[in-house]
A and B are shown apart, each in its own frame.
Chain A
């Protein structure tokens, strides 16, 4: 299978700390890949490097065969990588609909002059992206919250809205940073189904960070394990859950935390 994302020898140092150290792995096209590891392992840092939020210290990031390292974040988003954030970052004072409509901006091409003068292209494209935003909300079950200000949305739905906003850009690769954090078991169950459905319906690839092992084992075809910034293991769910190194470093810690 061709690869949509290939990360090679990726390194990020913050002062003396190597948050990500010589990590290589790739995401096959159309796959759902899990990225796991204990707190501080460097998972979010990898997302920040891939999306251009941080500049990398060393290594390469290839997206669809194109080297994207060093591009500004908005260009990488343009090329087709979007993400959600571990600590939700919605446009808080805007409504659910406005959040999605804003993200549809790439599906319109009218200029500033055309918007100031309300020229035909403006009207036509606005109509189109309004329809697009509404469709997305309806597919993702947020239509009845259309006019609610994002800040007033229940937590689980805020996470879902962030995914919808990302989808509005028609991405080829979606990065989800702990999408189940703060969700109850019901919502987590729903989310699992949604992740598979999104991959199939929107024909994209997904890289997901999660601490919920059920979710990771349930939806991912491949899993990459990080620990202290280095890659510890990589394989399918079965290989990973039987890998003694992983059990020791990660699952052991997770159980310890669960008991605490």
Chain B
């Protein structure tokens, strides 16, 4: 394996990670499952590419710098998600999930028919702009923003919505608003990931953003552990690299991939990290919780033994 190859995997993992982090906020912290985030990636990818593609290759292209594409792609996905949220976030429970699935597929089918982007045949000529350092930089910023957000009152309100919606309401939390914030942020992350993806592949095709892609993102979040940013990071690295490493097994690789995921989920049903964070604060918290649990168990046992003796 040469560096070029490894670098490619790392870049893909880093790009996936951006989208996964956003989804982690929506699914892991706010408790909303989405099967349409590939749709937001697609919106980001196509808008970003539209900004940077040279007018000489595609008449609609604007030939603007890459960072303009990144911002426009993220914003575009965020704005679309706001309107999707207005329609779907009032739906109860699983209906939101189904609505996102419909949205993702709709975006793909629409793109299949937009001829200026090449329709289903695809759109070549996107400039190669995604570099590993740029991706790592965005990953770091994305992790920091997210970690700061979830450890604030706003993040706690989202977790409250995940834990117990009714209790959140009567605690003065505007459930709809916080679901919306989580959705929009997750879509912006997905959009930015899409822009980097487009400028890594240099070729776009609607079928890259199929239901399989959405599912992959959600699987990574669950695999890493709901409510854990470190879990999402590990999940994105492992589950993006795994299929590549398994390439040697050719057609069997997806079977191994599936088996590996199932194995982990059986041995760690709450995902790799099980809601824990790999940070000094996170480890301190996990230890305090463990200590409190053991103490409570010991007390309970003592009380029971006391009762038996008294009886």
Contacts and interface: CB of A to CB of B under 8 A. Distances in A.
Interface in B163-208: 163-164, 166-175, 181
B170 A77 contact: yes
Given A105-B157, A148-B289, A74 B173 contact: yes
A101 B148 CA distance: 16
A82 B152 contact: no
Interface string A94-110: 11001001111110101
A93 B296 CA distance: 16
A231 to B, nearest CB: 24
Interface string A156-184: 00000000010001000000000000000
Contact of B148 (A105, A118, A129, A169): A118
15 contacts: A73-B169, A74-B169, A74-B175, A77-B170, A77-B172, A78-B172, A90-B163, A92-B164, A102-B153, A102-B171, A103-B171, A106-B172, A129-B153, A148-B296, A154-B296
A77 B167 contact: no
B181 A91 contact: no
A92 B171 CA distance: 15
Interface of A: 51-53, 72-74, 76-78, 82-83, 85, 89-95, 98, 101-106, 108, 110, 112, 115-118, 122, 126, 129, 145-149, 152-154, 165, 169
Contact of B160 (A91, A108, A116, A153): A91
B153 A115 contact: yes
Contact of B164 (A89, A98, A115): A89
B157 A102 contact: yes
A89 B163 CA distance: 9
Contact of A145 (B154, B275, B292): B292
B149 interface: yes
B171 A110 contact: no
Chain A binding surface SS class: mixed
Contacts of A78: 172
Contacts of A72: 169, 174
A112 B159 contact: no
Nearest to A112: B154
Nearest to B293: A152
A90 B173 contact: no
Interface in B124-167: 145, 148-149, 151-157, 159-160, 163-164, 166-167
B247 interface: no
Contact of B169 (A77, A129, A152): A77
Contacts of B288: 147
B170 A149 contact: no
Contacts of A85: 166-167
Given A115-B152, A118-B148, A148-B292, A105 B173 contact: yes
Nearest to A80: B172
A106 B157 CA distance: 11
B172 A74 contact: yes
Nearest to A157: B296
B159 to A, nearest CB: 7
A103 B172 CA distance: 8
A91 B167 contact: yes
B42 to A, nearest CB: 26
In the A-B complex, the 9 residue pairs with the smallest Cβ-Cβ separation, listed nearest first, are A115-B152, A77-B172, A91-B163, A73-B169, A147-B292, A147-B288, A148-B292, A105-B153, A89-B167
